[in-house]
Homo-oligomer: A and B are copies of this chain.
Amino acid sequence: MSSQLGVASRLPPLCHCQPEPAMASSAASGEEPAPLLPALLFFRLRMDDDFDAALRQRYRVLDFFVSGEPLPAFLAGAAALPDPPRAAVVMGGAAARVDAALLDAVPSLGFVFSTGAGVDHIDLAECARRGVAVANSGTVYSTDVADHAVGMIIDVLRRVSAAERFVRSGLWPAQGDYPLGTKLGGKRVGIIGLGNIGSLIAKRLEAFGCIIHYNSRRPRDSVPYKYFFNVHDLALESDVLVVACALNKDTRHIVNKDVLEALGKDGIIINIGRGANVDEAELIRALKEGRIAGAGLDVFENEPKVPAELFSMDNVVMTSHVAVFTSESRSDLWDTTIGSLEAFFSGKPLLRQVLPW
């Protein structure tokens, strides 16, 4: 750590950087300033010290969340620099949107890297029109998300978290046996979105004896699973419906009232995609009225807000958008982020480029 911070401390000061406490002493010591590092627009929470240090060794990080400035002022300041930023790092979710306004404000941008698995916060068509390359974390998270999805299916069907509360409250001796769960084997699991994550979920569930169905934009020739052209028909033939698709205008509320109706009172829904893939208000109504059997939700429409009505439901398992995150995948993500930036700045091909659709 100390050597990394030592390197970081040689970076020249920049109005939008995080404070560099060692800078004053470095300047005071009369050392030659290091060559100017490339500027990097940075829109991300959730950092760790090692990654922060590694990034600052390589770039002058213009950190929006640290700047405290309104977005237009922050972008104008960046664009007015003698060497304005050619690259941006953005996280997934609602933290920042890369849209026409942002691209207009900083026309020097040639590359956007998303540290999220999704790219619903990036206007891919606008980027393509302007020749701005977009890459993301690719499959770094995929196995973790798939594992979490399977864990949630088992949890909801077998009532693990609910039984956990029961035992932890000391109720077992007084109340006796906990109600029976439902078997995973033989269940028909309908996966919405058979991309990398969906395919990994399917592979895992095959080992449990599940029957896999799926819906996606196109049928896949390479898989033995039954394809459904629309989600309503998929839900009709599924005991468990798993949302594993990206969020875009076609998939917003892809699980709506009709789909929940088709899933039916013994069906459960798992969402490890994006909160807005599911009509949350309709989901809550269906759960309340017993029109579906349960839900496992890692994502919500207005994170971190979770509708309080869910808190008292024993047939719902909720986690705080953690399906993507393990210490191992985060470490892979940092490597991928820095590798992608280095590829862009050295003119090499971008391995995980996202194409517009």
Taking a contact as CB atoms closer than 8 A, the residue among B167, B181, B207 that contacts A326 in the complex is B181
Q: Could you say how many copies of this chain the assembly holds? A: 2
Give A168-188 as 1s and 0s: 1 = Cβ < 8 Å from B's Cβ atoms: 111011001110111111100
Q: Is A250 in contact with chain B by the CB < 8 A criterion?
A: no
Is A173 within 8 A of B304, CB to CB? yes
Q: Is A306 in contact with chain B by the CB < 8 A criterion?
A: yes
Taking a contact as CB atoms closer than 8 A, the residue among B45, B147, B318 that contacts A158 in the complex is B147
Give A29-51 as 1s and 0s: 1 = Cβ < 8 Å from B's Cβ atoms: 00000000000000001100000
Is A163 within 8 A of B319, CB to CB? yes
Q: How far is the CA of A330 from the CA of B184 in the complex (A)?
A: 14
> Which B residues are CB-close (under 8 A) to A45?
177
Q: Is A159 in contact with chain B by the CB < 8 A criterion?
A: yes
A59 CB, nearest partner CB in chain B, Å: 24
Number of chain A interface residues as a range:
35 or more
Taking a contact as CB atoms closer than 8 A, the residue among B154, B181, B304, B306 that contacts A150 in the complex is B154
Is B328 within 8 A of A183, CB to CB? yes
Contacts A183-B143, A320-B178 known; A155 to B151 CB distance under 8 Å? yes
> Which B residues are CB-close (under 8 A) to A225?
none
Is A158 within 8 A of B167, CB to CB? no
A-B contact pairs, 10 of them (CB 8 A): A151-B154, A160-B160, A161-B161, A165-B165, A167-B318, A168-B311, A173-B305, A180-B326, A183-B328, A204-B204
Further contacts, 7 of them, CB under 8 A, given A144-B183, A152-B160: A143-B208, A147-B183, A161-B161, A163-B319, A180-B325, A182-B326, A183-B329
Give the 3 A-B CB pairs with smallest separation, nearest first: A151-B154, A207-B207, A183-B328
